[in-house]
Amino acid sequence: DAKTTQPPSMDCAEGRAANLPCNHSTISGNEYVYWYRQIHSQGPQYIIHGLKNNETNEMASLIITEDRKSSTLILPHATLRDTAVYYCIVKGWNTNAGKSTFGDGTTLTVKP
């Protein structure tokens, strides 16, 4: 699985969009980009994943660059409850028994 790089921390004003970047320059053609978040001491929560097209669900949008070497998770209207550690993970389709490596992630702080 390809390695990812994320900034250690970011701030965002409440009500504004939060844009969290992730670099994955060694991503392979069959590898997906996954995003999770961990609020305080709770279990991580799956947010979204994508291969090459942009994806949107009720929680967030995922924008993947055309060369697939980086992506951005967008929380369109951040609230205080979105304060959490956000993890970007790259994983191949149907490989490695689904095991995922969670790095240090980005700590997003949403401020009033």
Partner 1 sequence: NAGVTQTPKFRVLKTGQSMTLLCAQDMNHEYMYWYRQDPGMGLRLIHYSVGEGTTAKGEVPDGYNVSRLKKQNFLLGLESAAPSQTSVYFCASTDGDRGTYEQYFGPGTRLTVT
> Which positions lie near partner 1, rule CB under 8 A?
32, 34, 36, 41-46, 49, 87, 91, 93-94, 97-105
CA distance linking residue 112 with residue 1, whole number of Å: 37
CB of 75 to partner 1, least distance (A): 18
Amino acid letter, residue 104:
D
Scanning the structure block, which residue is given the tokens 């409440």?
A: 14
CB of 1 to partner 1, least distance (A): 11
- Among residues 26 and 96, whose Cβ is nearest to partner 1? 96
- Among residues 14 and 92, whose Cβ is nearest to partner 1? 92
Q: In angstroms, what is the C-alpha Rg of the chain?
A: 13
- Among residues 29 and 43, whose Cβ is nearest to partner 1? 43
CB of 112 to partner 1, least distance (A): 25
